[in-house]
């Protein structure tokens, strides 16, 4: 599934959004392969990445008075609520639901990208937004990764 996000046709054409999505997908795919003890210790980092990405998108939408902000924010909040609930379960040793949620995230992201983010990108481009181009490298260990967010000048 990560390959889908590397395919140029899936790219939104906004450097920071594309990088953030690839970073999230890499983290998700890595976590799917992780043993339970590592899986549970990585969940807070995944939540942080999601929150930063969503917050960055929402701040952009607020600044441009994006008409679909409410619906977009509701999608983010619904997913974050689900992920937060799974963290508590995983911390208590229940890995079944958290792993099921993690396994559905690539499909959710693809749907969100096509249905929600693509419209946002059209509006950003129409408003003349220019992406900030910061290099994103993949550290060797997940804990060394710095959360990425979307930004425009």
Mean pLDDT in residue range 23-41: 93
152, β-bridge pairs: 131
State the pLDDT at residue 126. 84
Give the Cα separation of 34 and 90 in Å (integer): 13
Rounded CA-CA distance 35/33 in Å is: 7
Give the Cα separation of 40 and 77 in Å (integer).
21
Residue pLDDT, tens place only, 85-141 = 999 999 999 999 999 999 999 999 889 988 898 888 888 888 776 654 433 333 334
pLDDT tens digits, residue range 49-88?
A: 999 999 988 998 998 899 999 999 999 999 999 999 999 9
36-63 and 96-112 helices, crossing angle to 10°: 30
Is the pLDDT at 10 greater than 70? The verdict is no
Q: Hunting for tokens 């210790």 — which residue is that?
A: 41
């Amino acid at each position: 599934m990560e390959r889908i996000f590397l395919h140029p046709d899936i790219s939104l054409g906004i450097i920071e959004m594309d990088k953030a999505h690839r970073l999230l997908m890499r983290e998700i795919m890595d976590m799917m392969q992780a043993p339970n003890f590592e899986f549970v210790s990585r969940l807070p980092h995944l939540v942080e990445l999601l929150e930063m990405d969503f917050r960055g998108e929402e701040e952009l939408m607020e600044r441009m008075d994006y008409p679909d902000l409410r619906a977009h924010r509701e999608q983010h909040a619904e997913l974050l609520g689900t992920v937060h609930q799974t963290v508590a379960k995983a911390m208590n040793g229940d890995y079944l639901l958290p792993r099921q949620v993690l396994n559905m995230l690539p499909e959710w992201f693809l749907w969100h990208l096509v249905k929600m983010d693509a419209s946002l990108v059209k509006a950003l481009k129409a408003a003349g937004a220019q992406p900030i181009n910061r290099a994103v490298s993949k550290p060797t260990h997940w804990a060394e990764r710095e959360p990425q967010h979307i930004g425009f000048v």
